[in-house]
Structure 1
């Protein structure tokens, strides 16, 4: 069981809290054990939107695998840099990180991490209206502007309000894989997005920004078995539609046929292996190609800007995906 501890400050923004909380709660509903806890210096916590929240005044025991999240609160730009949390709370946040745990913030929550000494020498971000203040009050930090979130040595800071959802989806992807993050995002009816300053999102996330359940079901199967030949008939059965309908909807939703999507997954995984020192031949076999020729062709094609082409025919993947390996 992983504990997600939300440290609440008076004036907390509801979406700063509710967005990440919903992500972890949804992931728990998909079978990943998360326990959400809410702590504060006082039991009653007024929110910026007028709703009073109830929190525990006692912190639970935390392990290195647990996460502490500080949601943002209403803070006017230029506000004096007075301590934003009690010294005891700041010490708890710092101690959790020192023990190997991960700490995160949404919006003005970055100031609490700064008070805990966790921004010194690290990259971070916050809401665009507060970035100048954060840089001024924490001069040893590097404030990254115009991004959704920044990670630096188990310190994850995000921009304002809804970006807390992106931060939490990133943490779910890091722990359980991008397919789980994509399913979590789909259940929440949000795009599975990544920070523009981070490495590019994988194909599992990049092609999930649609609302076609049939295509998502087919992608789930390809994601789980991308190294194996997959019959289009099996994909269509999993999606609950005909082969022709699946290919048409898949192409419209992702810009790829099912075969191209599977090849893109294989290529990404192979590139990761090659970057770690694996030979092209070994990487090709590891991701499901029978030899390295197809992998070499895909690598070459990925480096050449593609000319506009007509949409593929509805029967382009007529028998078996990855048959030409």
Structure 2
């Protein structure tokens, strides 16, 4: 179980709070439907027990800011209204002091089980607390210059939906917090769960090609077609199955001819190329965990090492063996 501790100082942007929180809640719901345990425990804390958000809606019964983190925790900092960002009020300054005094040592520990997440201008609060030194990070485009001033020892990245650097993950404007949450859900719970959450929230799965940590299993899913999602979910859940056009069509509850049209129109890739890409990602993950090339090929649904190597050459540089040695 991962504690998601969302810090809510006064005048926080409501969507920064609710968007990621809802994504994590839906991930738990999806896991429980699959007979698995929930992974995320949502907590909301602040310098005061009540905080009025940017739209005037008050949030009450917030936890006090904790002195320590007894369980693995994702500490999530959200943005605030623009005037508060430029001149932090007393409650915001108290939050920054708490981050620097109590959270910075925990986040800086070697092999820490905790992560720092920031949504929108929440990155500025992290910068004021000195949590971004030596890290790559981003924020809303309006505040990139301010972030560079507040965190001169950080590498500020422009024009990115989100940036992941080790245990620190930062995102741009408000809805990017949902994109970041989907990425983290995929990492912790699997890509099929993240895809199900995105479909439930009726949002596109955002991708940043520059980010090598973003799983290819989320590619080709920038659509809302339920039949195509059914086929893609089936492949993600069982890439090792003997997929054919006909069995994919059965999973989607459409004809084979219609499925071909759906893949061409909405996924811009053929069904069997999609299957191959999913299998390659599964093989890559197995190699990173130390599996031999033979075991990785079997786990991903390839019939032999040779079939894996040929597919690898069509999509990646290098070889599966080289990828295993570099992991």
Among 216, 241, 245, the alignment partner of 1:228 is 241
C-alpha contact 2:49 2:64 (8 A) present in aligned 1: no
Distance 2:85 2:237 in 1: 49
**Comparing 195-204 with 164-173, which one deviates more in the overlay?**
195-204
- Give the match for residue 323 of structure 1: none
Task: State how 1:20-169 maps to structure 2 within 5 Å.
Answer: 20-31=20-31, 32-59=38-65, 62-76=69-83, 79-80=86-87, 84-86=92-94, 87-98=97-108, 100=112, 101-169=114-182
C-alpha contact 1:280 1:292 (8 A) present in aligned 2: yes
C-alpha contact 1:71 1:108 (8 A) present in aligned 2: yes
If each structure's helix is expressed as a fraction of its own residues, which one has the higher value? Answer: 2
Among 252, 262, 269, the alignment partner of 1:239 is 252
- Give the match for residue 321 of structure 2: none
Among 176, 187, 199, the alignment partner of 2:200 is 187
Offset at 1:235?
Answer: 3.2
Cα distance change on mapping 1:241 and 1:295 into 2, 3 Å: same
Cα distance change on mapping 1:297 and 1:172 into 2, 3 Å: same
C-alpha contact 2:240 2:300 (8 A) present in aligned 1: yes
Cα distance change on mapping 1:30 and 1:131 into 2, 3 Å: same
Aligned residues, how many? 304
Cα distance change on mapping 1:276 and 1:39 into 2, 3 Å: closer
Cα distance change on mapping 1:88 and 1:285 into 2, 3 Å: closer
SS in 2 for 1:19: helix
Distance 2:281 2:63 in 1: 46
Among 184, 191, 194, the alignment partner of 1:178 is 191
**Comparing 199-208 with 141-150, which one deviates more in the overlay?**
199-208
Unaligned 5+ runs, structure 1: 305-325
| RMSD (CA atoms) | 2.8
